[in-house]
Amino acid sequence: MADYEWKSAITDIGPGKIRVRGYHITDIMDKLSFAETVFLILKGELPTKAEAEMMRAILVASIDHGCSPPSVLGTRNVVSGGNPLNAAVAGGVLVIGDSHGGAIENSAKIMQEWAKKDGDVETLASEMVDWLKEKKIRMPGFGHRLHNVDPRTLKLFEIAGKCGFSGRHIELCKAVEKALENKLGRKLPINVDGAIAAVISDMNFDWRLGKGFFIISRVPGLISHAYEEMTREKPMRQLGNRNFTYDGPGEREI
Ligand SMILES: CC(C)(COP(=O)(O)OP(=O)(O)OC[C@H]1O[C@@H](n2cnc3c(N)ncnc32)[C@H](O)[C@@H]1OP(=O)(O)O)[C@@H](O)C(=O)NCCC(=O)NCCS
């Protein structure tokens, strides 16, 4: 039976040859920044100046958010249990999900689906919030435990404006923030996930890449936390909230 052959359009390799999306790695090393290279490998084409600048800001925005995020606690717990850096970073990445970091994916999916519809963004946002309420879905990319206004969102939208990416998705995202406040009676600020979701949608990225942007940005942060935990803390220390009350069955006999 002939060897099973499959195709990949990402990187061509051979003896002495590595070409990412067609470009020699040595030329990329000479000429592109990390953010530009991330754009190239994800999109398949070189970024324009504006795309490169936007990508740089996106990758910087989520690099770290202190010791409280679940992924950081995951990473630190894995180290604290006596495991190496690779396991700790993998553990932290596994914690990233629809409620933390991974909200970019679903936020972009919803935004991309709704932005395609006819109508002005205010009407669409209002209908979207009614739909979310009916389905009992929390709008991904909105709300934050700490920030009433997420400074990363403001900066990303400012840079998006300068780079020419303030399109229908960002407009819709801002309108959804207002509609949530009007209809739910509470301020749910656009968080960094929601802002990235809107920006990458205006940059024509597929929503299925959403979690990837957060992972690429956050891994250096997780590595720093793993290293600090290894070098500053005692093994198996008590991390997180120890305040819990047992409310299962009382003492009983078998
Ligand atoms: C980020 C998040 C977990 C912070 O939560 P919090 O500030 O601790 O708020 P709570 O989970 O206590 O929720 C408080 C209320 O706001 C509502 N709420 C919070 N975020 C909401 C959202 N994105 N959409 C709709 N309602 C939301 C909750 O349903 C709850 O309502 P209730 O009191 O009627 O039950 C929350 O806003 C959320 O789940 N956001 C969506 C996921 C997301 O964007 N994650 C990325 C975080 S960077």
Query: What pLDDT digit, counting tens, does each position of 147-202 carry?
Result: 888 999 999 999 999 999 989 999 999 999 999 999 999 999 999 999 999 999 99
Tell which one of 71, 130, 138 to mutate to probe ligand 1, the residue whose CB is within 8 A of the most ligand atoms: 138
Q: How far is the CA of 141 from the centre of ligand 1 (A)?
A: 9
Confidence of residue 108 (pLDDT cuts 50, 70, 90): very high
Residue, of 67 and 99, whose pLDDT is higher: 67
How far is residue 239's CA from residue 90's CA, in Å, rounded to a whole number? Answer: 18
Residue with tokens 């754009």: 39
Domains of the chain: 11-47 (no CATH), 103-208 (1.10.230.10)
pLDDT score, position 4? 86
Residues 125-151: what's their mean pLDDT?
93
Q: Are 176 and 188 in contact (CB under 8 A)?
A: no
Is a pLDDT exceeding 80 seen at residue 252?
yes
Q: Which of 52-56, 116-120, 145-149 has the lowest mean pLDDT?
A: 145-149
pLDDT score, position 119? 94
Confidence of residue 239 (pLDDT cuts 50, 70, 90): confident
Q: Are 123 and 242 in contact (CB under 8 A)?
A: no
Q: What does the H/E/C string look like for the chain?
A: CCCCCCCCCCEEEECCEEEECCEEHHHHHHHCCHHHHHHHHHHCCCCCHHHHHHHHHHHHHCCCCCCCCHHHHHHHHHHHCCCCHHHHHHHHHHHCECCEECHHHHHHHHHHHHHCCCCCHHHHHHHHHHHHHHHCCCCCCECCCCCCCCHHHHHHHHHHHHHCCCCHHHHHHHHHHHHHHHHHCCCCCECHHHHHHHHHHHCCCCHHHHHHHHHHHHHHHHHHHHHHHHHHCCCCCCCCCCCCCCCCCCCCCC
For residue 151, CA distances in Å to 55, 74, 114 come to: 17, 25, 26
How far is residue 113's CA from residue 193's CA, in Å, rounded to a whole number? Answer: 17
Q: How far is the CA of 140 from the centre of ligand 1 (A)?
A: 9
Q: In the chain, how long is the greatest CA-to-CA distance?
A: 72
For the CA of 143, the nearest atom of ligand 1: 37
Is a pLDDT exceeding 90 seen at residue 118?
yes
Is a pLDDT exceeding 70 seen at residue 1?
no
Q: How far is the CA of 129 from the centre of ligand 1 (A)?
A: 14
Q: How far is the CA of 143 from the centre of ligand 1 (A)?
A: 5
Is a pLDDT exceeding 90 seen at residue 129?
yes
Q: How far is the CA of 8 from the centre of ligand 1 (A)?
A: 40
pLDDT score, position 14? 96
Average pLDDT, the chain: 95
Residues 84-95: what's their mean pLDDT?
98
Backbone angles phi, psi at 11, to 5 degrees: -135, 130
Q: Ligand 1 atom 14: the closest Cα is on which residue?
A: 143
- Tens of pLDDT, residues 206-216: 999 999 999 99
Across 143-156, b (16+ Cβ under 10 Å) vs e yields: bbeeeeebebbeeb
Ligand 1 and 103: CB distance under 6 A: yes
Q: Give the rounded percent of residues in the chain with a pLDDT score beyond 90.
A: 90
